[in-house]
Amino acid sequence: MARPRRLDLSVSERASEAATLARVVRSRREELGLRQDELAALAGCSTRFVHTVEHAKASVHLDKLLAILRVLGFELVIRPGRGEILADAP
C-alpha cells in the first residue's frame, strides 16, 4: 500500500478544521473514483457515515473516521497547536 498522506492544516485552515477535513475527504474520494457507498464498504462503515464526514457534521465515531482516512491513504497527525492547554488553566 502507498505511504499515507499527511493531513497538515495551514493557519487559515485551522479555523474551520471540520469543514477542511470534509473537503479533503470528499476530494480524495472523488480523485480515487470512489462513490460514497464504495468508500463505506472499503472502510467498514455505512454510506450515511461517509456522508456525515463529508458534510462536517459535529458528531462522528473516531474509529470509523480513522478507517475512512486509512482507505483514502491519509494518516491523522496530532501536534501541539495554539489552543488552550488545560494544565495552564486557573
- What would the DSSP string read from start to end of 57-77? -S---HHHHHHHHHHTTEE--
What's the domain count of the chain? 1
Using CA atoms, how far apart are residues 53 and 46, in angstroms rounded to an integer? 11
For residues 3 and 27, the answer to whether their CB atoms sit within 8 Å is no
Over residues 41-59, the pLDDT tens digits come to: 999 999 999 999 999 987 7
CATH number of the domain encompassing residue 49 = 1.10.260.40
Q: What is the pLDDT of residue 30?
A: 97
**Which domain does 49 fall in, by range?**
14-74
Question: By percentage, how much of the chain surpasses pLDDT 70?
Answer: 72
DSSP state of 88: G
Residue 82 lies in a domain: no
- Residue 22 — very low, low, confident or very high, per pLDDT cuts 50/70/90? very high
Residue 23 lies in a domain: yes
For 57, phi then psi, to 5°, come to -65, 150
Residue 85 lies in a domain: no
This prediction has a pTM of 0.69
Q: State the chain's mean pLDDT as an integer.
A: 82
Residue 7 lies in a domain: no
